[in-house]
Structure 1
């Protein structure tokens, strides 16, 4: 068996996959094994979602899938068939300006380089959707899958408190 024949046999054919991203229907021919983070960044040009570790440990690529927080580096294209996805770009959609969580991060200095920020904001969104008045322990647990190497977490924790206070108003 020659090398070209082997390559032809192992090529995964594209499948038509349909899903929602930030309220808009997307139908595309994609390799079923393509990672969601690559679809978002390279195919849909939604570059707010960052790729850092690529193995689900840092949370930089976190998005909401059917309302649940996921690491988009661990989700494959075939898994998003029929799913509803929300990225950082979709949070403030339909509003004048930023989402209240994004505003709180700005006001409290919840970021420095910004690389982890979109994943942190999505984790906070997931937390506050499930628990509008979280305890400090719940906040720390919700953010445990997100790593920030710059801020020392003080500003991030203050931002979560501020966003939770606004949600109560």
Structure 2
């Protein structure tokens, strides 16, 4: 959690959740992260029967998502878990990237070995599925652009089917 807190303190962007404070709990060794109230997760909005997004809405949310990701990447931060439930909508309808629990620092100029155990399975980039440990911003962009955009347009999170072997088919063609 310490790394998540340090990363959140480094980020300041309209499309990234803002860490407002820390609150200790009564239980020993517990700490709560305090954020502004968010109206909903984008995944909940999309999965409602009336929740299908229009093309202008998809473009608007995608622009906000990419703007927030660029801010993170420009500061050497990989989110590593972009998915609908980590994209929150505030009371004004603005998208905010949340849940930096799997995030980490990276340097595009310096190779470093990172774990492949990041990103929810259905959002994983091909290089992660193939076991790469020296990855960069592409893993966030893979989750954001083709996978999130697909789910927003087609009202489904099942991009490749729910069989693990199907995940690599598009990457191998």
- TM normalised by structure 1 equals 0.28
Greater CA radius of gyration, 1 or 2? Answer: 1
